[in-house]
Amino acid sequence: MQDPNADTEWNDILRKKGILPPKETPPEEEEEEQLHQTQSVVKTYESMSLEELEENEDEFGEEDELAMEMYRQKRLAEWKANQLKNRFTEVSEISGQDYVQEVNKAGAGIWVVLHLYKPGIPLCTLINQHLSRLAQKFPQTKFLKSISSTCIPNYPDHNLPTLFIYHEGEMKAQFIGPLLFGGMNLTCDELEWRLSESGAVKTDLEENPRKQIQDQLLRSIRCSEPHRRDEDSDED
């Protein structure tokens, strides 16, 4: 008797005519097919967002429930990690009443940069502009600003601008007065470098930007020294 499962051209013709039943699939091939389908479902989960998982939940069978929950938890963990990493993207205004909550109780692992300023002081305005850029560049760091008189009563204007750097509620550094900032020539990169030295941000700058200016000044001084010596010799 001819084997209906044999791979012959005649059997293929008979199957197409409906005379022979469809060829039986070996158990090994069935397992491979099931594995392929499972991998396809897994790949579908991986490409979905949390919202898409919720929307398409009814389309999957009960056997997929465990896998769906696993990927839902994975996506949720990734979302939370991303939210934590990018939780601060702007400079927030606070008052003295907010100080303890926003600064001292900022949370575990959180760096806080607080700028005490006063409207009408050009250097304070410049630093606020720089901090706005740095807040977007370093969303893991909490950047705050506060009008000095509303934050610390009777805080002297000659100490402005002032930067306080906190980590986990403890002050790590402070920059008080215009001289420490180098006046209106302060660049955003220079301020970033200062903050990185205190640990508040992780900069990608390779060296202190002000060092380049200092090196240029030193070269200028060295170049002018021989000229001065010649003038002194002529006077003698």
Q: Token pair of 189, please?
A: 């990169």
Q: What's the distance, Cα to Cα, between the start and end of the chain in Å? A: 129
Tell me: pLDDT of 13 over 90.
no
Smallest Cα–Cα separation from 91: which of 133, 125, 147, 121?
A: 133
Smallest Cα–Cα separation from 93: which of 152, 139, 161, 144?
A: 144
Distance CA 147, CA 95 (A): 7
**Containing H/E element for 165?**
strand 162-167
CB-based contact 121:178 (threshold 8 Å) = no
Distance CA 115, CA 124 (A): 8
Question: Which residue, chain included where needed, has tokens 């400079």?
Answer: 91
Q: What angle do CA 167, 134, 127 make, to 5 degrees?
A: 95
Q: Is 199 helix (H, G, I), strand (E, B) or coil?
A: coil
pTM: 0.58
User: What confidence category does residue 111 fall into, taking pLDDT thresholds of 50, 70 and 90?
Assistant: very high
Question: Average pLDDT for residues 54-65, to the nearest whole number?
Answer: 63
161 prior amide bond cis, ω within 30: yes
Q: How far is CA 72 from CA 52, 76, 99, 159, 236, in A?
A: 10, 6, 38, 52, 88
Question: Average pLDDT for residues 178-197, to the nearest whole number?
Answer: 94
Tell me: pLDDT of 43 over 90.
no
pLDDT in tens, 77-108: 666 666 555 578 899 999 999 999 999 998 88
Sequence-ordered alpha helix ranges (H) in 63-182: 65-85, 99, 122-137, 148-151
User: What confidence category does residue 1 fall into, taking pLDDT thresholds of 50, 70 and 90?
Assistant: low
Distance CA 88, CA 203 (A): 17
Predicted local distance difference test score (pLDDT) of residue 30: 58
